[in-house]
A = this chain, B = another copy of it.
């Protein structure tokens, strides 16, 4: 399969890295030519300066850019390569955004958090595919199955719901870690002391219903501790953390009262 990539960020990098082994990566385009060139050098691709240089004989073009840029990118791509299968990699962009411009469109969404520093275990990463056309869907299923054991043909509505859940499970849990670090940093206490707790909490959530695994002063109804923590956050002059503490504790109390 001959594949070109639009974008040179984290998702583009990790996709190029894994696809490179079994497929022929042809071209890469990025608003920053320098970034495109860097990716091209690593994975034996051609970096291009404009969409006009796109090779129309590839099997697939993968759009791996910010969600906001997708509508603009598909307009341009359609103009130059009207007959190539084009997919985006976004959890939150409806297939229609591509489909209303470009017939042979689809989605190739890896549900994972990407950073340049860390390897992706593709085999266990769930991949969600969707296509306007049945043959294109078969093609994407085959491609996805060459990377992961967990491939699902999901509708845009299902995928959007998963991505919303991912914001809670990933972005917000990471912000909880970040807030925890700010609390210990203020006392010059080493954040790494919390590592076993962070890992165990995540491990528990993937073995049991997180609701059943919930612990802490809020669900114990321990008003003394809740008041003391609020007081500590006030002394630290951290009304932002105090607001989060209040809202989440209140919701935890309500959720576990109804048990």
Q: Which residues of A contact B (CB under 8 A)?
A: 66-68, 92, 111-115, 117-118, 121, 124-126, 150, 152, 157-158, 160-162, 164-181, 183-184, 186-187, 189, 191-211, 213-218, 220, 222, 224-225, 228-229, 232-233, 240-241, 243-245, 247-248, 251-252, 254-255
Chain B residue with minimal CB distance to A202?
B202
B204 in contact with A118 (CB, 8 Å): yes
Q: Which of B158, B191, B197, B214 contacts A187 (CB 8 A)?
A: B158
A224→B68 contact, CB < 8 A: yes
Contact partner, A198, options B117, B169, B175, Cβ 8 Å: B169
How far, in angstroms, from A176 to B214 measured CA to CA in the complex?
Answer: 11
- Minimum distance in angstroms from A91 CB to a CB of chain B: 9
**Complex formed: what's the CA distance from A243 to B168 in Å?**
12
- With A165-B184, A186-B161, A240-B251 known as contacts, the answer to whether A225 contacts B172 (CB < 8 A) is no
Query: Are B232 and A205 in touch, CB under 8 angstroms?
Result: no
Q: Decide: A197 and B216 in contact? CB cutoff 8 A.
A: no
Q: With A160-B232, A169-B180, A244-B248 given, can you name 12 additional A-B contacts, CB distance below 8 Å?
A: A111-B197, A115-B204, A126-B193, A165-B189, A165-B194, A166-B194, A168-B176, A168-B177, A168-B245, A169-B176, A169-B177, A171-B252
